[in-house]
Amino acid sequence: MSGGSQITPLKKRLVALLTAVLTVAIRPAPKASAGIGTIDAHVVRLRNNHGQVICTLFTPSDRFPDKSQKGMTMAVPIDKKQATCRFNNVRYGNYAIVAFHDENHDGEFNQNWLGMPKEGFGFSDNPDTLRKPAFNDAKFVVNEPVVQVMIKLNYWF
């Protein structure tokens, strides 16, 4: 019997270690799952505690700021001239929010005969513009479990 054909305990351990390392190295990596988060949109600078605040969440594919395809709209109560709209189970990605102060509690964004807003309104990222902002003007990123957004309302009258 030749000494080269025997497997020593050391060789057995090396083979076992090499097998374990190769098994881990060639195992496919787990697929990254899309993260899910919560958005807390804090709406501030309300002029009074009347009515409610209505928030709509937009994705890049929605017709911002006019129509959300996903229908993620909510009405929340006002407390101490502020309100918080909480959107749960939101996939990580880019979003924008439109909020308005529904002072008369009719569920509509009221405007005068010229189309000027009669109720307070605001957008995420608080763009400083006199025209309707584009999605990118109000965009923010959800990339962690909880994202805080502040929306400052504006009143024209």
Question: What is the residue range of 123's domain?
Answer: 36-152
Inside any domain, residue 123: yes
Query: How high is the pLDDT of residue 71?
Result: 73
Inside any domain, residue 17: no
Query: How high is the pLDDT of residue 29?
Result: 42
Inside any domain, residue 25: no
Of the candidates 150, 123, 151, 120, which has an alpha carbon nearest to the alpha carbon of residue 136? 123
Note the pLDDT tens digit of each residue in 10-32: 555 555 554 554 444 444 444 44
For the chain, what is the HEC assignment? CCHHHCCCHHHHHHHHHHHHHHHHHHCCCCCCCCCEEEEEEEEECCCCCCCEEEEEEECCCCECCCECCCCCEEEEECECCEEEEEEEEEECEEEEEEEEEECCCCCCCCECCCCCECCCEEECCCCCCCCCCCHHHHCEEECCCEEEEEEECECCC
Inside any domain, residue 26: no
Q: What is the CATH number of the domain that holds 40?
A: 2.60.40
Inside any domain, residue 142: yes
Highest mean pLDDT among 25-34, 120-129, 140-149: 140-149
Cα maximum dimension of the chain: 105
Count structural domains, the chain.
1
CA distance 26 to 13: 20
pLDDT at 146 over 80: yes
Q: What is the mean pLDDT of residues 43-47?
A: 98
Inside any domain, residue 45: yes
Note the pLDDT tens digit of each residue in 65-117: 988 877 799 999 999 999 999 999 999 999 999 999 999 999 999 999 998 99
Query: How high is the pLDDT of residue 27?
Result: 46
* Residue for token pair 């190769």: 22
